[in-house]
Amino acid sequence: MTHSYSALENELRHRFRNDLNHAGESHDVENAFAFTVRTLLVRATEDGLRFTDNDIRLLPKGPVHYQLAEVITSAAAFQAASADSDLLVIIGRFAEEASHRYKSLHEHADKIRAREHKEH
């Protein structure tokens, strides 16, 4: 591996975890994941990609936990940034955390709704 994006990962992690902790519904988790990966990709490719958050999908039940659209994976800027780097591993770690929170929300939906109702 010749390039590491771990400093960028660490920079994004605090907000990402905060967003996950405050996620009340599964779409909040999906949005936090998409926003974080979008920011990561834009910075890693030095704004060399054009895509939307819909091109980044969280797949909590899948073995990889995420999917990037072809518009991202086929772009030269993405291929250059991901070649011989830890970029995909970092995206995988964000996806794993988001998937865990997503599943937790579904497993404990009634408790979360009751707690939120009491807070308001």
Contacts 24+ apart (CB under 8 A), 29-32: 29/58, 29/98, 29/101, 29/102, 29/105, 30/57, 30/58, 30/98, 30/102, 32/98
Q: Tell me which of 19-23, 39-43, 51-55, 105-109 is least confident.
A: 105-109
Contact 31, 38 (CB under 8 A): no
Confidence of residue 53 (pLDDT cuts 50, 70, 90): confident
Distance, in Å, from the CA atom of 96 to the CA atom of 115, rounded to the nearest integer, reads 25
Taking every pair of C-alpha atoms in the chain, what is the biggest distance, in angstroms?
51
Q: Is the pTM of this model over 0.85?
A: yes
In 3D space, the residue among 60, 63, 42 whose CA is nearest the CA of residue 52 turns out to be 42
Model pLDDT for residues 86-102, shown as the tens digit of each residue: 999 999 999 999 999 99
